[in-house]
Structure 1
Amino acid sequence: AAISSIVKELDKLLLVDAISSLGSVDLPVDKWRCDVTVTASQKGWMVPPGLAMVSVSKEAWQAHAKAKMPRFNWDFARAQKYLEIGQTPWTPAVSIVFALSVALDMMLREGLSNIFARHARVGDAAREGVKSLGFSLFADEKYASNTVTAVSVKDGLNVREMLRILREEYQIVLAGGQQSLQGKIFRIGHLGLITEQDIEEIISALNEVLPRVST
């Protein structure tokens, strides 16, 4: 909301990357005056990748109408025109649409407020769990995410081997760091259909594996 206020004072549009948040944490796009908010099917919506969903404000539509940059795939007006007749401009990922329909039914049964509360509990459990193993969080905890936890790695820990053992022996898939953070952090994704029990199992597995991959 604070960022939105600054953006609006400058008479600019606010574009939000909500790939890893929408559907898992509360994001009131109208209240916060988010002009274009983008999410995708493979995160909190619990289905494979293949769909992108976008919300567009009145101000963003006005900017779109004035824009002169050529566009084809990303032509919102074309997409809106087809949406009015229940279609898409091109062949969609039909199987993902059906999967998303099932996921939305699940989410409606649980209720959005319950989903947000569950993700908050799971996020807390993940952070407290890794700290109990002696790790420190990569990000300042006041900016902690309820959908993913990045964990700093101490010298002497073989992250690649740890991830391999977790995947092959425990059927737990965690992610390592990318680019300059490769080997320096690992990440626990906790969004979508995940519970506190899942986090407990991850922490328990880490506790067993760590002695095998530390020097």
Structure 2
Amino acid sequence: GLEVAIELLLEEGLEAVYARHARVAAYCRQRLQAMNVALFPADEAYSSPTVTAAKMPTGWTWPQLDAALRQHGMAVGGNYGALAGKVFRIGHMGNQARMELVKKGMDVLAEVLG
């Protein structure tokens, strides 16, 4: 529960946790850009260290991308309101903010996008 999560956080150290989140966020965004997937917002100064948002890749709809990624065991978030179908989100927070997991996810996305 909460006590275990706090224990793990303090064990790793707050600065190390912040740095890990920054590293995986930067890696995720770098890989997306290498796949010609535009970040949202385009200015990374406004991006979160715990989730990366990107514009829907050219030629893909949200239902198509979601289904293709799920077939490979990967789940990403869609969006709502004015951004529904235009932007998707990749979470990298807490235990999901591990380089090996983010690398695997980006490899899956690259394979799906072909």
Match of 2:83 in 1: 181
Q: Secondary structure at the match of 2:94?
A: coil
Structure 1 position 136 matched with structure 2 position 56: no
Structure 1 position 117 matched with structure 2 position 49: no
Amino acid paired to 1:119: H
CA distance, structure 1, for counterparts of residue 112 and residue 35 of structure 2: 11
CA distance, structure 2, for counterparts of residue 102 and residue 145 of structure 1: 25
Unaligned runs of 5+ in 2: none
Amino acid paired to 2:76: L
CA distance, structure 2, for counterparts of residue 192 and residue 120 of structure 1: 12
Question: 1:175: how far off?
Answer: 0.4
CA distance, structure 2, for counterparts of residue 165 and residue 154 of structure 1: 13
CA distance, structure 2, for counterparts of residue 154 and residue 106 of structure 1: 36
Match of 1:146 in 2: 49
CA distance, structure 1, for counterparts of residue 7 and residue 104 of structure 2: 27
CA distance, structure 2, for counterparts of residue 106 and residue 170 of structure 1: 30
Which of the pair has more CA radius of gyration?
Answer: 1
Amino acid paired to 1:190: H
Question: 1:119: how far off?
Answer: 0.5
Question: 1:153: how far off?
Answer: 1.8
CA distance, structure 1, for counterparts of residue 5 and residue 85 of structure 2: 34
User: Counterparts of 1:67-106 in structure 2 under 5 Å?
Assistant: 99-106=1-8
- C-alpha RMSD of the superposition: 1.3
CA distance, structure 2, for counterparts of residue 128 and residue 187 of structure 1: 15
Query: Percent identical across equivalent pairs?
Result: 37
Question: 1:158: how far off?
Answer: 2.2
Post-superposition CA distance 1:11-48 (Å, at most 9, x none): xxxxxxxxxxxxxxxxxxxxxxxxxxxxxxxxxxxxxx
Q: Secondary structure at the match of 1:104?
A: helix
Amino acid paired to 2:67: R
Structure 1 position 205 matched with structure 2 position 101: no
Q: Which runs of 4+ in 1 moved over 2 A?
A: none
User: CA 1:104–1:148 in 2, change beyond 3 Å: closer, same or farther?
Assistant: same
Larger fraction in helix:
2
